[in-house]
């Protein structure tokens, strides 16, 4: 099957948070530990693992922890697999190739995995995805746990109270959505949201430095990425993982049903599974 080469443009989230001055704030909010910008080394992958794909935010703190964080506006059951692959690439770059053949243990920064969710589907403040959900109930010798944090603007949301930069980003997105909901174009909504954030000191310095057109280009790319979910099945076939993706999605349906006490139909709504595909997933879930 012919592979289409995709170009990548930085998302607004990536542009804001791939910044050593802002990352100590996120580090403290997530782990409760302090760091300075000088303690941080960026570990963002620039089109090295897959052609045209980058991870959102990755950074190493004092060679103690490596944090990988992705921003999502939809529920993606394959985030543990993606983050596992990103981590493997970061470790590959971190370690001298010859060192893996030496007797001495190689010291590695401990990995932590996060997804920041701000989709329109109502979700709790925090939940988890596990790589083992893709194993079809079989016991393996490893797992990878991803903490998903809801960053939609809402009073008393813990992560937003701890991290002003995430709060500011959340307010900006909420403003854009509100203006679009009222009938405005995306471009005009972004302009209004930028002015609101400047006036109310939400990432004021950042938005003052950016032209509205530049912000539009980045956010428009992110919104268009949501439509790209329609090609997930094609991409899975290209990688020979179609069956694995189905098993992972079925496991995620079960996980959502159990964790949030909702029906199978509601779980499929959350995962945005097309109506035409729901019968086959229902068969997998029922076993």
**What pLDDT score was predicted for residue 103?**
82
Residues 36-45: contacts with CB within 8 Å, 24+ apart? 42/18, 43/68, 43/90, 43/93, 43/94, 44/14, 44/18, 45/86, 45/89, 45/90
Contact 170, 117 (CB under 8 A): no
Contact 186, 223 (CB under 8 A): yes
Closest-CA residue to 26 (of 159, 151, 147): 159
**What pLDDT score was predicted for residue 220?**
64
CA 197 to CA 22: how far, in whole Å? Answer: 17
**What pLDDT score was predicted for residue 286?**
84
CA 70 to CA 287: how far, in whole Å? Answer: 32
SS3 111: strand
**What pLDDT score was predicted for residue 53?**
59
Q: How far is CA 62 from the centre of its chain?
A: 23
**What pLDDT score was predicted for residue 98?**
72
Q: Bridge partners of 116?
A: 71, 149
CA 235 to CA 241: how far, in whole Å? Answer: 9
β 57-61/65-72 pair status: antiparallel
Q: Is the dihedral of CA 119, 285, 77, 33 positive or negative?
A: positive
CA 49 to CA 187: how far, in whole Å? Answer: 33
Token pair for 60? 């190493």
Q: Which residue has the tokens 């802002």?
A: 22
**What pLDDT score was predicted for residue 224?**
53
**What pLDDT score was predicted for residue 194?**
92
Q: What is the DSSP string of 227-285?
A: HGGGGHHHHHHHTT-HHHHHHHHHHHHHHHHHHHT--HHHHHHHTT--GGGHHHHHHHH
Which residues of the chain fall short of a pLDDT of 70?
Answer: 1-10, 46-53, 220-245
Contact 186, 157 (CB under 8 A): no
CA 185 to CA 254: how far, in whole Å? Answer: 38
Q: How far is CA 80 from the centre of its chain?
A: 10
Enter the pTM of the model.
0.74
């Amino acid at each position: 099957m012919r592979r289409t080469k995709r170009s990548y443009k930085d998302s607004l989230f990536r542009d804001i948070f791939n910044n050593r001055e802002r990352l100590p704030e996120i580090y403290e909010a997530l782990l409760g530990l302090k760091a300075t910008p000088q303690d941080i080394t960026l570990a963002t992958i620039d089109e090295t693992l897959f052609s045209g794909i980058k991870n959102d935010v990755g950074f190493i703190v004092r060679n103690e922890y490596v944090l990988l964080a992705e921003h999502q506006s939809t529920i993606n059951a394959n985030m543990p697999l993606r983050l596992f692959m990103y981590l493997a690439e970061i470790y590959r770059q971190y370690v001298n190739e010859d060192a893996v053949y030496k007797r001495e243990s190689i010291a590695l920064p401990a990995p932590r995995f996060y997804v920041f969710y701000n989709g329109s589907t109502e979700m709790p403040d925090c939940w988890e995805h596990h790589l083992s959900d893709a194993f079809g109930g079989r016991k393996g010798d490893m797992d990878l746990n991803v903490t998903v944090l809801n960053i939609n603007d809402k009073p008393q949301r813990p992560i937003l109270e701890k991290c002003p930069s995430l709060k500011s980003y959340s307010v900006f997105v909420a403003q854009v959505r509100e203006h679009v909901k009222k009938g405005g174009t995306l471009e005009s909504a972004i302009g209004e949201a930028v002015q609101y954030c400047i006036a109310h000191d939400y990432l004021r310095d950042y938005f003052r430095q950016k032209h509205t057109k530049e912000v539009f280009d980045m956010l428009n790319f992110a919104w268009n990425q949501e439509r790209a979910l329609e090609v997930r099945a094609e991409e899975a076939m290209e990688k020979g993982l179609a069956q694995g993706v189905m098993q992972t999605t079925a496991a995620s349906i079960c996980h959502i049903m159990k964790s949030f006490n909702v029906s199978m139909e509601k779980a499929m709504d959350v995962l945005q599974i097309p109506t035409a595909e729901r019968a086959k997933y229902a068969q997998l879930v029922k076993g």
